[in-house]
Chains A and B, each alone.
Chain A
Amino acid sequence: MSELTLTVMRLGFLAVLWLFVIVAVQVIRSDLFGTRVTQRGSRRDAGRPQQAARQAPPQQRQQSGGGGRRGRNTPTKLVVTEGTLTGTTVALQGQTITLGRAHDSTIVLDDDYASSRHARIYPDRDGQWIVEDLGSTNGTYLDRTRLTTPTPISLGAPIRIGKTVIELRK
Chain B
Amino acid sequence: MSSTTNPSTQHTSTIGAIGAPSRRNTELALLVFAVVIPVFAYANVGLALDGEMPTGLLSYGLGLGLMAGVGHLAVRKFAPYADPLLLPLATLLNGIGLVAIWRLDQSKRLQASSTFVEAAPRQLMYSALGVALFMAVLFFLKDHRVLQRYTYISMVGALVLLLLPLVPGLGHNVFGARIWIKIPGLGTLQPGEFAKIVLAVFFAGYLMVKRDALALASRRFMGLYLPRGRDLGPIIVVWIISILILVFETDLGTSLLFFGMFVIMLYVATERTSWIVFGLLMSAVGAVGVASFEPHIQTRVQAWLDPMREFELSRAGVSDGIVHSEQAMQALWAFGSGGTLGSGWGQGHSDLIGFAANSDFILATFGEEIGLAGVMALLLLYALIVERGVRTSLAARDPFGKLLAIGLSGAFALQVFVVAGGVMGLIPLTGMTMPFLAYGGSSVIANWALIGILLRISDTARRPAPAPATNPDAEMTQVVRP
> Interface code B444-471, partner A: CB below 8 Å = 1, 0 otherwise?
0000000000000000000011111011
Interface segment, one of B16-24, B127-135, B171-179, B270-278:
B16-24
Taking A13-B41, A108-B5 as contacts, is the C-beta distance between A130 and B341 under 8 angstroms? Answer: no
Asked whether A152 lies within 8 Å of B347 as measured between CB atoms, the reply is: no
A49–B14 Cα distance when bound, in Å, is: 9
Is the pair B15, A40 in contact by a Cβ cutoff of 8 Å? no
Docked-complex contact B13 and A38, CB < 8 angstroms: yes
Mask for A85-98, Cβ within 8 A of B = 1, else 0? Answer: 11111110000000
CB-CB under 8 A from A35, the residues of chain B are 3-6, 15-18
Contact residues on A (Cβ < 8 Å of other chain), bracket: 35 or more
A99 to chain B, nearest CB (A): 10
Tell me whether B345 and A9 are in contact (CB under 8 A).
yes
Partner of B384, one of A1, A11, A21: A21
B88 located at the interface, meaning its Cβ lies under 8 Å from any Cβ of chain A in the complex: yes
Chain A contacts with B in 40-71, Cβ cutoff 8 A: 40, 43, 46-55, 57-58
Instruction: Write out the residue numbers on chain A whose beta carbons fall within 8 Å of the beta carbon of B183.
Output: none
- Chain B proximity of A151: nearest CB distance (Å): 6
- In chain A, what residue has the closest Cβ to B9? A37
- Which listed residue (B3, B34, B344, B470) contacts A20, Cβ 8 A? B34
Nearest CB on A from B81, distance (A):
11
Q: Does B15 contact A106, Cβ atoms closer than 8 Å?
A: yes
> Would you call B16 and A38 a contact (CB within 8 A)?
yes
Chain B residues contacting A43 (CB-CB under 8 Å) are 14
Given A17-B374, A18-B373, decide whether A90 and B4 contact each other with a Cβ distance below 8 A: no
Q: Is B209 an interface position by the 8 A CB rule?
A: no
**B478 contacts partner chain A, Cβ-Cβ < 8 Å:** yes
CB distance from A122 to the nearest CB of B (A): 9
Which A residue's beta carbon lies closest to that of B371? A14
CB pair B345 A10 closer than 8 Å: yes
Inter-chain contacts of A47 with B (CB < 8 A): 14, 16
A82 to B61, CA, bound (A): 63
Q: Looking at the complex, which of B44-52, B67-75, B237-245, B296-304 is the stretch in contact with chain A?
A: B44-52
- Asked whether A90 lies within 8 Å of B2 as measured between CB atoms, the reply is no
Closest chain-B Cβ to A77's Cβ sits at a distance in Å of 8
| Cα distance A91–B467 in the bound complex, in angstroms | 20
Which of A5, A10, A23, A55 is within 8 Å of B342, CB to CB?
A10
Task: Tell whether, in the assembled complex, residue A87 and residue B480 are in contact, meaning their CB atoms are under 8 Å apart.
Answer: no
- Given A21-B384, A50-B18, A132-B477, decide whether A34 and B33 contact each other with a Cβ distance below 8 A: no
State whether A34 touches B44 (Cβ < 8 A). no
B345, A13: Cβ atoms under 8 Å? Answer: yes
B35 to chain A, nearest CB (A): 11
Minimum CB distance partner of B84 in chain A: A27
- Cα of A74 to Cα of B33 in the assembled complex, Å: 52
Q: In the complex where A31-B23, A48-B16 touch, is A10 in contact with B341 (Cβ < 8 A)?
A: yes
Within the complex, which residue of A11, A39, A103, A105 is in contact with B13, where a contact is CB–CB below 8 Å?
Answer: A39
Given contacts A6-B347, A21-B377, whether A33 and B16 have CB atoms under 8 Å apart is no
Q: How many residues of B contact A (CB 8 A)?
A: 69
Closest Cβ of chain B: how far from A87's Cβ, in Å?
3
Partner of A57, one of B37, B88, B470: B470
Complex CA gap A150/B16 in Å reads: 25
A21, A46, A58, A107: the one within 8 Å of B5 (CB): A107
Q: Report the minimum CB–CB distance from B58 to chain A (whole Å).
A: 19
Q: Mark each residue of chain B from 25 to 45: 1 if its CB lies under 8 Å from any CB of chain A, else 0.
A: 010001001101100110010
Q: Are B381 and A21 in contact (CB under 8 A)?
A: yes
In this complex, the member of A37, A55, A86 whose beta carbon has the largest number of chain B beta carbons within 10 angstroms is A37
A69–B371 Cα distance when bound, in Å, is 68
Q: Are B11 and A85 in contact (CB under 8 A)?
A: yes
> In whole angstroms, what is the CA distance A34 to B464 when docked?
11
Minimal beta-carbon separation of A86 from chain B (angstroms): 6
Q: Is B7 an interface residue (CB 8 A)?
A: yes
**8 Å CB contact of A14 from B10, B19, B374:** B374
Give which listed residue, B4, B14, B16, B468, contacts A108 with CB less than 8 A.
B4
Q: Is the CB of B30 within 8 A of A24?
A: yes
A50 with B479: CB separation less than 8 A? no
B373 and A36 form a contact (CB under 8 A): no
Cα(A123)–Cα(B458), bound, Å: 36
CB-CB nearest in chain B for A34: B1
Known: A17-B37, A37-B6, A152-B481. A53 touches B47 (CB 8 A): no
Contact assessment for B377 and A18 in the assembled complex, using a CB-CB cutoff below 8 Å: yes
A14 engages B373 (CB within 8 Å): yes
Query: CA separation between A37 and B347, bound complex, in Å?
Result: 53
Provide the bound-state CA to CA distance between A134 and B74, in Å: 44
Chain B residue contacts of A132, Cβ below 8 A: 477
Q: How far is the CB of A107 from chain B (nearest CB, A)?
A: 6
- A10 and B44 in contact, given A85-B5, A105-B4 (Cβ under 8 angstroms): yes
Other A-B contacts than A34-B4, A52-B20, 14 sampled, CB-CB below 8 A, are A9-B345, A16-B36, A34-B1, A35-B18, A48-B16, A52-B2, A54-B2, A85-B5, A88-B15, A90-B15, A106-B3, A149-B478, A149-B480, A151-B479
Question: Can you give 7 A-B contacts (C-beta < 8 A)?
Answer: A17-B374, A23-B30, A33-B21, A46-B14, A89-B12, A105-B4, A149-B479
Going nearest first, the 8 A-B pairs with the smallest beta carbon separation are A49-B16, A87-B11, A52-B19, A10-B344, A17-B377, A1-B51, A84-B7, A53-B2
